Structure 1
Amino acid sequence: MGRILSEPRDGSGEGGAWATGNQIERDLILTDADFLRIRELIYQRAGIVLAEHKREMVYSRLARRLRHHGLTRFTDYLTRLERQPDAREWEAFTNALTTNLTAFFRETHHFPLLAEHVRHAAGPVNIWCSAASTGEEPYSIAMTLLETLGGRAANARIIATDIDTDALAKAQAGIYPQEQVRKLDEARVKRFFQKGTGSHAGLARVRPEVMAMVEFLPLNLLAPSWPVKGPFDAIFCRNIMIYFDKQTQTAILKRFAPLMKRDGLLFAGHSENFSYISNAFKLRGQTVYTLADSGR
């Protein structure tokens, strides 16, 4: 998965901005102080380091929330948030500032490594996908287990978590555009997906036997406790740690270690390097890590 903070998909649409000559006019007021508060709040809530150049994205994404509440100033919106630390709006605030970029079998080299690892596992396989996004990653894991373990896959358990509750709702539905699914091997498409017809034409749904292997849960990696229980044969934490600072990365890796089986695998994203962050893990190769004391 992974979660990214991206530029707005449409610079003139969802942000309510429009061009007049060389100027960009906006109907909502976002001050420098507001932007600084937003950066501090998303860091406190989700550990995400929001770069200075993301100001346009922030305006675009949060403008919807201001309009939903009939507000015109970001200052008023942020004041409401801070006065209600347990309000559900915090969930909408966090969801708005996270965008999910993922695909089925993304970073393909990880899945043969996973297959080889679980093929020799003793007892039921237990895997945690810690940044599940809209579900493509945990479903890819489930498909890999079904292909590798056969009947043993029925006893496997995949926990899929994410901070973005909107993304999790899409993941639980298991419905995707057919053009996204067509990128897969034809045999996989036939085995693991149902083709939509009628009002569902152009869509594909993950088959029930695949969906049944995955349990989706909301989880903030900064939360003091996690609703997951190891030990895990593998933890997928791909393309999310790059948006945390080193202190947050170190703390998360420290919490991962006791949740893993002694020979468990930790999968990172292609641009992530944990070797210089934590002494709890050592690089096995191809952005895959094992516990430093695993003996491997």
Structure 2
Amino acid sequence: MHQHEFDMTSADFDYIKQQLYLHAGIVLGEHKKEMVYSRLSRRIRQLKLANFKQYCDYLETHNKQELSAFVNALTTNLTSFFREHHHFEFLKKMAQTKWQYDKSMNRKIRIWSAGCSTGEEPYSIAMTLADSINLRHWDCKILATDLDSNVLNVAKKAQYERSKLESSQLPLGLKYFDSDTQSTNLTVKPSVRELVHIKRLNLLQSEWPMKGLFDVIFCRNVVIYFDLDTKNQLIRRYAQYLKPNGYLFMGHSETMSREISEFKGLGQTIYQKQG
């Protein structure tokens, strides 16, 4: 590595990789060295430490307190409203056709946004439902979870930059946002926000607290960080939390291993639970 403000040895990088895998299941390749350096440098400055060796020692001795900041710094949070638009088109079609006439649904829809980041995904799901069905006649709940407590705080505020939203050319325009005269932000309308329940969850923890089954699980651009065994284990676990014939949506760069028999592919990273 070229000259930097803080020294980071190969041993430091190996320790950081090991800790991130241990606590978040994320695999870091060598090409992520610069990213790790820039993100953790901020933390090293905040803690007034001299180098990465001191930070690794600090992480070792203050593991419980520091772990959250460590994971937050290294998890990527790139997201936007209605990203991978075909998933929302599919959701809209299901809500307007199949679900409308499916008596076994009992006019109840349950969707999980796993790895919800700053909230754009679960709010896009809620807006799609609001635009597809009469919410007064349905019981809709969207669970939004993430490991990173910082992004969950952003999601809870539900405020987003007007300029970003306007330049995104959202399919539903800005009809589900309220403008704030005091700032340049727009806030998601309460009728949409009340559908979304935001919780912190580590997908790799041994037990998930959810009791019921979901109609759809969005897990997009999450498993790309996991090794194959962890990824397959997680996908099989999702199958246990989906209703029969429920759907799993994955990210555009993610594929499902052929060993997984619980799902069949419907194209465009949409998978349906078998049976």
Give the TM-score normalised by structure 2: 0.92
- Structure 2 counterparts to residues 245-264 of structure 1, below 5 A: 245-264=227-246
In structure 1, C-alpha distance between the alignment counterparts of 2:240 and 2:172, rounded to whole Å: 38
Matched, 1:142 2:126: yes
Aligned to 2:102: none
Matched, 1:184 2:166: no
CA RMSD in angstroms, aligned pairs only: 1.7
Residue 71 of structure 1, CA deviation: 0.7
Aligned to 2:191: 209
In structure 1, C-alpha distance between the alignment counterparts of 2:130 and 2:257, rounded to whole Å: 32
In structure 1, C-alpha distance between the alignment counterparts of 2:179 and 2:4, rounded to whole Å: 43
Residue 84 of structure 1, CA deviation: 3.6
Residue 186 of structure 1, CA deviation: 7.6
Contact residue 128 and residue 232 of structure 1 kept, 8 A: yes
Residue 40 of structure 1, CA deviation: 0.8
In structure 1, C-alpha distance between the alignment counterparts of 2:8 and 2:171, rounded to whole Å: 49
Percent sequence identity over aligned pairs: 43
Distance 1:95 1:153, change over 3 A: farther
Aligned to 2:180: 196
Contact residue 103 and residue 137 of structure 1 kept, 8 A: yes
In structure 2, C-alpha distance between the alignment counterparts of 1:79 and 1:239, rounded to whole Å: 31
Residue 290 of structure 1, CA deviation: 0.8
> Aligned residue pairs: how many?
267
Contact residue 129 and residue 159 of structure 1 kept, 8 A: yes
- Aligned residue for 2:205, secondary structure, equals coil
Residue 153 of structure 1, CA deviation: 6.6
Q: What residue identity is the alignment partner of 2:128? A: T
Query: Deviation above 3 Å: which 4+ runs of structure 1?
Result: 184-188
Q: Which of the residues 70, 91, 94 maps onto 2:68?
A: 91
Aligned to 2:29: 51
Aligned to 2:216: 234
Contact residue 81 and residue 170 of structure 2 kept, 8 A: no
Q: What residue identity is the alignment partner of 1:150? A: N
In structure 1, C-alpha distance between the alignment counterparts of 2:165 and 2:29, rounded to whole Å: 33
Unpaired runs of at least 5, structure 2: 100-104
Residue 220 of structure 1, CA deviation: 1.1
Residue 107 of structure 1, CA deviation: 0.4
Q: What residue identity is the alignment partner of 1:98? A: T
Give the TM-score normalised by structure 1: 0.86
- Structure 2 counterparts to residues 99-118 of structure 1, below 5 A: 99-118=76-95
Q: What residue identity is the alignment partner of 1:276? A: R
Aligned to 1:11: none
In structure 2, C-alpha distance between the alignment counterparts of 1:231 and 1:250, rounded to whole Å: 20
Unpaired runs of at least 5, structure 1: 1-22
Aligned to 2:17: 39
Aligned to 1:17: none
Contact residue 275 and residue 282 of structure 1 kept, 8 A: no
Matched, 1:78 2:60: no
Q: Which of the residues 253, 261, 274 maps onto 1:271?
A: 253
